[in-house]
């Protein structure tokens, strides 16, 4: 039952079709048996009236007008005052005239009130005319019958209009409610979009600032290294040279006293200290910023593979040089990974390859060692991952037991 009503709701024209067919069938009994022409016209009139129902939803006013036009013809020609019988028998009102209140209801439900009220008034007027033409034929005593007919027909029209009008009111309310809901939804959507846009803007601002900070930090490290190179390192080298000269001068002088020996010993120790400090300072400065990076990532990696205790190949097919900060991250990762190969892999061969894909730098370090490398928390690889992630990079490790080990690092070309 529910399914049927739901189907009818989804296909209202079916309902209208059923109604039209029903009314048309019921009117069959009222068709005059007479000259074939008269019967044909009667069938045609009933058919037309019934058919108006089919168009009520799309063209309510037109359907109503058409039905009323036929009804007017019926009133004027299909019935006659007195007992004379109809002028045209084919136009005698039939049960199909029920379409009129149905159409009035439709107009009231779906058209503005000013249209529906007009339609109502037309209906009532037609009713009045019809009764006026029909009433004189009745016996004088049956004024109650005339009154009942007027009340019946007028009441039906009025009831159809009231029903339709209240439906219209409901439709309007639903329409306004849906309008309100749609507005509220649109507002919420707009708010969400504004918030998303603000968040996106903030994210891009932060990304931009992070890129600046990363570049700035790389530049600062390079400056520190250069300051060390031009300052402390060169001064220390000059000091070591002076101490070296002093040491050699003392060595060449005749050993004349214990004091001389003592002085020689002290100078020699100072000379040794200065040389060791130089070496330490060099390692420190190189850890801050390897100067070979100033010649580009390619030469820097080539110096790594060129001095690797495990034979290492280098395959560079990237064309666009990364920013200094990215080159530095890639270099330190490669150095660490190559050191891992030497320490843990027992490999006989390693390869570093660098390519670029769109705006990403792709570096893989491969070895033919024993495998089993893991991205464990707190491990060396995790440290590299941390470093890579500061610029939204990625690090993947494939290292099944028995090898080979492939570490892939993906970095943006620019922070």
Partner 1 sequence: MSAPPSPPAGLRIVIAEDAAIMRDGLTQTLARRGHDVVAAVADAEALRQAVAVHRPDVAIIDVRMPPTHTDEGLRAAQSIHRDHPQVGVLVFSQYIEAQSAAELFAGAAGGVGYLLKDRVADVSDFIDAISRVAAGGTVLDPEVVRQLLSVGRRAEALAVLTPREREVLALIAEGRSNTAIAGAFTISPRVVEKHVASIFDKLGLPPSRSDNRRVLAAIRYLES
- Residues at the contact surface with partner 1, assessed by CB under 8 A: 226, 229-230, 233-235, 237-238, 240-246, 248-249, 252-253, 271, 274-275, 278-279, 282, 285-286, 291-292, 294-295, 299, 302-303, 306-312
Nearer to partner 1, 45 or 312 (CB): 312
| H, E, C per residue of 238-251 | HHHHHHHHHHHHHH
CB count in 10 Å sphere of residue 221: 16
Smallest gap from Cβ 361 to partner 1, in A, equals 22
Smallest gap from Cβ 381 to partner 1, in A, equals 23
Smallest gap from Cβ 260 to partner 1, in A, equals 13
Smallest gap from Cβ 218 to partner 1, in A, equals 16
Q: CA Rg, the chain, in Å?
A: 51
Nearest Cα to Cα of residue 315 among 371, 356, 347, 373: 356
Nearer to partner 1, 91 or 354 (CB): 354
C-alpha span between 174 and 39 (Å, rounded)? 47
Nearer to partner 1, 303 or 353 (CB): 303
Smallest gap from Cβ 251 to partner 1, in A, equals 8
Measured on CA atoms in the order 347, 348, 354, 355, is the torsion positive or negative?
A: negative
Nearer to partner 1, 155 or 313 (CB): 313
Smallest gap from Cβ 239 to partner 1, in A, equals 9
Nearer to partner 1, 311 or 372 (CB): 311
Contacts of residue 6, defined as CB under 8 A and 6 or more positions apart, other chains included, come to none
Smallest gap from Cβ 294 to partner 1, in A, equals 5
Nearer to partner 1, 172 or 295 (CB): 295
Cis peptide before 350 (omega within 30 of 0): no
Smallest gap from Cβ 233 to partner 1, in A, equals 6
Give me the residue label for tokens 């009441």.
Answer: 155
Mapping DSSP to helix (H, G, I), strand (E, B) and coil, where does residue 312 land? strand
What torsion, rounded to 10 degrees, do the Cα atoms 217, 218, 220, 223 define?
180
Contacts of residue 106, defined as CB under 8 A and 6 or more positions apart, other chains included, come to 56, 57, 60, 63, 64, 164
Nearer to partner 1, 56 or 222 (CB): 222
Nearer to partner 1, 102 or 365 (CB): 365
| H, E, C per residue of 329-384 | HHHHHHHHHHHHHHHHHCCCCEEEEEEEECCEEEEEEEECCCCCCCCCCCCHHHHH
Nearer to partner 1, 254 or 401 (CB): 254
C-alpha span between 251 and 265 (Å, rounded)? 10
CB count in 10 Å sphere of residue 139: 7
Smallest gap from Cβ 303 to partner 1, in A, equals 5
């Amino acid at each position: 039952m529910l399914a049927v009503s739901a189907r009818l709701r989804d296909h209202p024209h079916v309902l209208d079709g059923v109604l039209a067919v029903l009314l048309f069938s019921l009117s069959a009994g009222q068709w005059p048996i007479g000259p074939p022409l008269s019967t044909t016209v009667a069938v045609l009139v009933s058919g037309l009236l019934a058919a108006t129902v089919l168009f009520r939803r799309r063209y309510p006013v037109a359907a109503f007008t058409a039905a009323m036009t036929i009804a007017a013809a019926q009133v004027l020609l299909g019935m006659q005052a007195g007992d004379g019988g109809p002028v045209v028998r084919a136009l005698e009102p039939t049960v199909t005239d029920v379409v009129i209140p149905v159409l009035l209801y439709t107009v009231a439900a779906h058209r503005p009130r000013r249209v529906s009220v007009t339609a109502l008034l037309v209906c009532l007027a037609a009713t009045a005319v019809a009764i006026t033409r029909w009433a004189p034929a009745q016996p004088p005593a049956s004024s109650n019958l005339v009154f009942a007919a007027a009340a019946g027909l007028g009441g039906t029209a009025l009831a159809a209009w009231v029903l339709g009008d209240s439906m219209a009111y409901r439709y309007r309310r639903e329409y306004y409610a849906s309008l309100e809901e749609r507005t509220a939804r649109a507002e919420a959507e707009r708010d969400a979009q504004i918030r998303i846009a603000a968040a996106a803007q903030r994210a891009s601002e932060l990304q931009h600032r992070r890129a600046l900070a990363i570049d700035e930090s790389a530049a600062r490290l390079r400056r520190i290294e250069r300051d060390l190179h031009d300052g402390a390192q060169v001064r220390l080298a000059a000091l070591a040279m002076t101490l070296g000269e002093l040491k050699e001068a003392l060595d060449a002088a005749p050993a004349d006293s214990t004091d001389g020996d003592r002085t020689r010993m002290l100078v020699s120790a100072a000379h040794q200290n200065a040389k060791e400090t130089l070496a330490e300072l060099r390692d420190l400065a190189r850890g801050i910023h390897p100067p070979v990076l100033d010649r580009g990532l390619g030469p820097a990696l080539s110096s790594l593979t060129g001095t690797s205790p495990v034979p290492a190949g280098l395959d560079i097919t990237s064309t666009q040089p990364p920013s200094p900060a990215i080159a530095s991250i890639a270099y330190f990762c490669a150095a660490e990974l190559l050191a891992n190969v030497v320490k843990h892999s027992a490999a006989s061969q390693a390869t570093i390859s660098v390519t670029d894909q769109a705006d990403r730098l792709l570096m893989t370090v491969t070895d033919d060692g024993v495998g089993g490398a893991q991205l464990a928390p707190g491990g060396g690889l995790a440290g590299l991952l941390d470093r890579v992630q500061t610029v939204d990079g990625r690090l993947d490790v494939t290292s099944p037991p028995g090898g080979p080990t492939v570490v892939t690092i993906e970095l943006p070309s620019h922070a």
